[in-house]
Chains A and B, each alone.
Chain A
């Protein structure tokens, strides 16, 4: 009997990140065009890049979902039909929507599958049934729903279910926070979220008049690696990693860790392995807030509140670059994002298997001059070795 396997759905804020996510194991990616999504500040995809991204993903057996989950006003809807027809023509696998007007527009102008965004805060069986009646093929559940509840929703509503397994979390029910709208003049549900929940608030208790300062609305980050078997048991169709604004390192590491864990489970039927600790170590190497399982098992309690200022821990690993060319003739050429020195301990993260170290004793620039310290936005040439590929990510501990 074959074990049910969910898809790993990774964020791709740009075409490069799409390639990284797919090459590192994502079964599907979600992306945004230049409009209609919630990440206005992200690089996002041009139509040419969408075309290329879909072709790249499909060639490797991965799916592409496009976000149209902004709360669109009438003027925003004007250009939507043309974009939807374009998405249909390039065979995008689904669109992610949160608004009934968008659903109806997509249905009128295409045959693309419709996924209901977490922005719609779908939390129960009856809500899932309603969206199914509206034409949805999948529900991205609100992060407040437990895995057990999600299983019930899938069984009773008879619709595909997607849940977040990793990443930053809104403290509010998604789509139910308009702080930015009224305090910054930026519509949080049209891509202008100012992350007001991450700031410190001074709170005065109205009964005791006691005052205190706290980051009381800031949530820890979700991490669901250890409950992966529960997702599988409940046959949750898709496990989503948050973070279209996040780095290449994030997109690659998350895709790799979760897909490797899933494959291990498929082979062994459990996660009882030393590998679990190494996967967790990998997750900790990427910039994050303290982790929580939030409401995946029981409703999120007080320990799910981050209550700290955003910071970068000292032991953080940084992506120092990506491999842009490799051959015996040219050596390994890295596009440097964060500086490093000759002799520094670098790790290459291969698409499959464990990270390995890279010799930095012989560093050269492109014109073959020796380099002692690299600079961001330059290229550096290292000696060739066989198991390094274009798009591999290179990281270093505490690189400055």
Chain B
């Protein structure tokens, strides 16, 4: 397994070389979410990296509306022959690169793409031009193991770095100041504390691409390096753009000296769907089968009113089960049936209002099922 990082200066390249990295990602400020390099600086660093025999990756990971995209696809042309690999996230950038360049492509599949079928889909679509897939940090160890054993393409995972929680093109911090858009080179940083969460100190950054919020802890799988390598992970990304590449010197003991709290996210297990059943009243889920309707009025000692939902309608003599919102069940026979004008009837069709005898203990929103 190889390590890769971002380079923002000649000094960085030296540190990367020292750490035996043979690939470097460059972030141009127009193309990369957190890129700081202008044309001149990027050209200089590309030259330097080539001298050091490093493979150079041009990161184009911003999401782009059509107007922004139109500008950037012109602007990238002079760079196309100067780097080794193009790294994209917006499907538009991918499509354009497939047709208009001959560069190998790294596709950032960190968003969506939680299933093997999707990842294989990208492999099929990009074909031989696919240099690498960048996988989501929300995949658990078990899932990663399966995916890495089945995917026939090199895969990369974040090993250390900030967890991006939120990305908008809107300028949310400057809007609170004077509302003027920030200038081309400017970046505003803040720490956020939400009233809903016990967590404090979410890093927030606004730059020309919009506003980004990160988790208070950074993501770290360094202790699982050997395990991931055995699973078949080809590249681990060490993103030290905020803390400095000097931490590369001793990854084994990084945890002891690193200034940020670290977490492994969902690596051991991803249970982010287990709470879903609790978000819903379980009563609402039981409307399949012989569902006859819902009680919409209870008049004590007089009647239950329901809207008939079953295509067969309702008749006196019918045996029904009534399920109370809290789950209690009542089995009753309908002795009489009345319409909305209180006339006794032999039948009431689907979608009509029907009155049946009162049943003690039944509430509004109880459900009726034909027995």
The distance from the CB of B97 to the nearest CB of chain A, in whole angstroms, is 9
Given that A175-B112, A190-B272 are contacting pairs, would A124 and B90 also be in contact in the complex, using a CB cutoff of 8 Å?
yes
Contact digits for A203-245, partner B, Cβ 8 Å, 1 yes 0 no: 1111100001010110100000000000000000000000000
Report A-chain residues with C-beta under 8 Å of the C-beta of B190.
Answer: 203-206
**Option from A124, A134, A177, A205 in Cβ contact (under 8 Å) with B167:** A177
Contact indicator B342/A202 (Cβ below 8 Å):
no
CB contact under 8 A between A103 and B276, given known A73-B114, A74-B116, A124-B90:
no
Q: Digitize A78-103: 1 where CB-to-B-CB distance is under 8 Å, 0 elsewhere.
A: 00000000000000000000111111
What chain B residues lie within 8 Å of A77 (beta carbons)? 115, 117
How distant is A290 from chain B, measured CB to nearest CB, in Å? 15
**A201 vs B96: C-alpha distance when bound (angstroms):** 39
- The chain A residues found within 8 Å of chain B, CB to CB, are 34, 40-41, 43, 46-49, 71-74, 76-77, 98-105, 119-131, 133-134, 142, 144-146, 149, 152-153, 171-173, 175-179, 181-187, 189-192, 194, 196-197, 199-207, 212, 214, 216-217, 219, 295, 299-302, 304-305, 324-325, 327, 329-330, 333, 335, 365-368, 377-379, 390
B84 shortest CB reach to chain A, Å: 22
Those 8 A-B pairs whose CB atoms lie nearest each other, nearest first: A101-B118, A101-B117, A127-B92, A302-B175, A330-B340, A187-B272, A126-B92, A101-B115
Closest Cβ–Cβ distance, residue B238 to chain A (whole Å): 20
Chain A residues whose CB sits within 8 angstroms of the CB of B192 once the complex forms: 201-204
List CB contacts (< 8 Å) of B318-356 with chain A.
339-343, 351-353, 355
Q: State the Cβ distance, B249 to closest chain A Cβ, in Å.
A: 27
Q: Do B117 and A105 have beta carbons less than 8 Å apart?
A: yes
Whether A144 lies near B169 (C-beta < 8 A) is yes
B94 CB to closest chain A CB (Å) equals: 7
Q: Which single member of A182, A206, A216 contacts B175 (CB below 8 Å)?
A: A216
CB distance from A362 to the nearest CB of B (A): 16
Instruction: Given A192-B273, A366-B299, verify A206-B189 contact (CB < 8 Å).
Output: yes
The proximity string for B residues 163-196 relative to A, scoring 1 for CB distances below 8 Å and 0 otherwise, is 1111111111111100100000000111111111
| Cβ-defined partner of B339 (8 Å) among A100, A125, A330, A365 | A330
Q: B363 — nearest CB in chain A belongs to which residue?
A: A377
With A and B bound together, what is the CA distance between A300 and B79 in angstroms? 31
Partner of B296 from the list A128, A206, A379 (CB cut-off 8 Å) is A379
Q: B297 an interface residue at 8 Å Cβ cutoff?
A: yes
Contact of B66 among A71, A153, A192, A366 (CB under 8 A): A153
Most buried by B among A119, A131, A324: A324
Q: Which of B92-131 contact A (CB under 8 A)?
A: 92-96, 111-119, 121-122, 125
User: Which residue of chain B lies nearest to A326 when distances are taken between CB atoms in the complex?
Assistant: B340
State whether A99 touches B112 (Cβ < 8 A). Answer: yes
Is B91 interfacial (CB-CB < 8 Å)? yes
The proximity string for B residues 116-159 relative to A, scoring 1 for CB distances below 8 Å and 0 otherwise, is 11110110010000000000001000010010000000000000
Question: How distant is the Cα of A73 from the Cα of B303 in the complex, in angstroms?
Answer: 48
What residues of chain A lie closer than 8 Å to B2, measured between beta carbons? none
Q: Which of A207, A304, A329 is B189 in contact with, Cβ under 8 Å?
A: A207
Given A207-B189, A330-B340, A379-B296, A46 and B272 contact (CB-CB distance below 8 Å): no
Contact B116 A199, beta carbon cutoff 8 Å: no
Q: Are the CB atoms of B195 and A199 closer together than 8 Å?
A: yes
Closest chain-B Cβ to A257's Cβ sits at a distance in Å of 26
Check if B66 sits within 8 Å of A98, measured CB to CB: no
How far is A378 from B165 in the complex, measured between Cα atoms in Å?
Answer: 45
Instruction: Please provide the chain B residues from 230 to 271 with a CB less than 8 Å away from any CB of chain A in the complex.
Output: 265-266, 270-271
* Assembled-state Cα–Cα distance A90/B165 (Å): 39
A116 nearest CB across to chain B (Å): 10
Which B residues are CB-close (under 8 A) to A127? 90-92, 95
Query: Does A40 contact B117, Cβ atoms closer than 8 Å?
Result: no
For the complex formed, measure the closest distance between the CB of A346 and the CB atoms of chain B, giving whole angstroms.
19
B118 x A149 contact (CB < 8 A): no
Q: Evaluate whether A43 and B66 lie within 8 angstroms (CB atoms) in the complex, with A179-B213, A366-B299 already known.
A: no
Interface residue from B67, B116, B167 paired with A149 (Cβ < 8 Å): B67
Contact, CB under 8 Å: A377 / B297: yes
Whether the Cβ atoms of B121 and A100 lie closer than 8 Å is: yes
Known: A40-B280, A324-B307. A144 touches B65 (CB 8 A): yes
CB distance from B185 to the nearest CB of A (A): 15
- Nearest residue (CB) in B for A152 is B66
A190 to B273, CA, bound (A): 7
Q: A123-B92, A181-B138 are in contact. Are A41 and B279 (CB under 8 A)?
A: yes
- CB-CB < 8 A to B116: which residues of A? 74, 101
The smallest C-beta distance from B112 to any residue of chain A, in angstroms, reads 5
Is the C-beta of B34 less than 8 angstroms from some C-beta in chain A? no
A324 to B279, CA, bound (A): 29
Tell whether, in the assembled complex, residue A192 and residue B272 are in contact, meaning their CB atoms are under 8 Å apart: yes
Chain B residues within an 8 Å CB radius of A123: 63-66, 69, 90, 92
A117 to chain B, nearest CB (A): 10
- Report how far A43 CA is from B282 CA in the complex, Å: 10
Cβ A203 vs Cβ B191 within 8 A:
yes
CB nearest neighbor in B for A132: B95
- The reply to whether the CB of B215 lies closer than 8 angstroms to some CB of chain A is yes
Min CB–CB distance B37 → chain A (angstroms) = 22
Give 15 new A-B contacts, CB below 8 A, not counting A40-B280, A43-B284, A181-B266: A40-B276, A73-B114, A99-B118, A100-B117, A101-B118, A123-B65, A125-B92, A152-B66, A172-B168, A173-B169, A176-B111, A186-B272, A203-B204, A216-B175, A366-B340
Are A199 and B194 in contact (CB-based, < 8 A)? yes
Closest to A216 in B: B172
B199 within 8 A of A: yes
B172 to A366, Cβ gap below 8 A?
no
- For A205, the closest partner residue in chain B by CB is B190
Contacts of A377 in B (CB 8 A): 296-297, 364-365
Considering only CB atoms, which chain B residue lies closest to A34 in the complex?
A: B285
B298 to chain A, nearest CB (A): 8
Judge whether A217 and B305 touch: CB under 8 Å: no
Q: What are 23 inter-chain pairs, A to B, with CB distance below 8 A?
A: A71-B112, A71-B114, A142-B63, A149-B66, A152-B66, A173-B168, A176-B166, A185-B271, A187-B138, A192-B272, A192-B276, A201-B192, A202-B195, A203-B173, A203-B176, A204-B191, A216-B172, A217-B172, A300-B170, A302-B171, A305-B170, A377-B364, A378-B297
Task: Give, as a whole number of angstroms, the nearest-CB distance from A195 to chain B.
Answer: 9
- A162→B233 CA distance, assembly (Å): 39
